[in-house]
């Protein structure tokens, strides 16, 4: 079973969209820092997961 989900997020710094991979094996909120694929600045990503699915994503400048 593959618990990695690929989702698109929008960079809070430059507004570009890029894909990240999220571990969805744990129910709850996962926090991770992702560097933007376009401008390389960090973004704080909060992902709500439930039963291996992404329920919601929040992105803010880190």
Q: Enumerate helices (H) and strands (E) in the chain, giving the number of each.
A: 0, 5
> CB of 3 within 8 A of CB of 21?
no
Considering only 7, 26, 38, 55, the residue that binds Zn ion (CB under 5 A) is: 38
Q: Binding residues for Zn ion, how many (CB under 5 A)? A: 6
> CB of 47 within 8 A of CB of 60?
no
Which is closer to Zn ion, CB of 13 or CB of 52?
13
Q: Is 45 in the site for Zn ion (CB under 5 A)?
A: no
Interface with Zn ion (CB under 5 A): 11, 13-14, 36, 38-39
């Amino acid at each position: 079973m593959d618990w990695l989900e690929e989702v698109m997020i929008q960079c809070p710094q430059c507004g570009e969209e890029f894909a990240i991979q999220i571990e969805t094996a744990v129910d709850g909120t996962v926090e991770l820092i992702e560097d933007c694929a376009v401008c390389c600045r960090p973004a704080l990503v909060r992902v709500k997961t439930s039963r291996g699915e992404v329920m919601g994503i929040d992105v803010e400048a880190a």
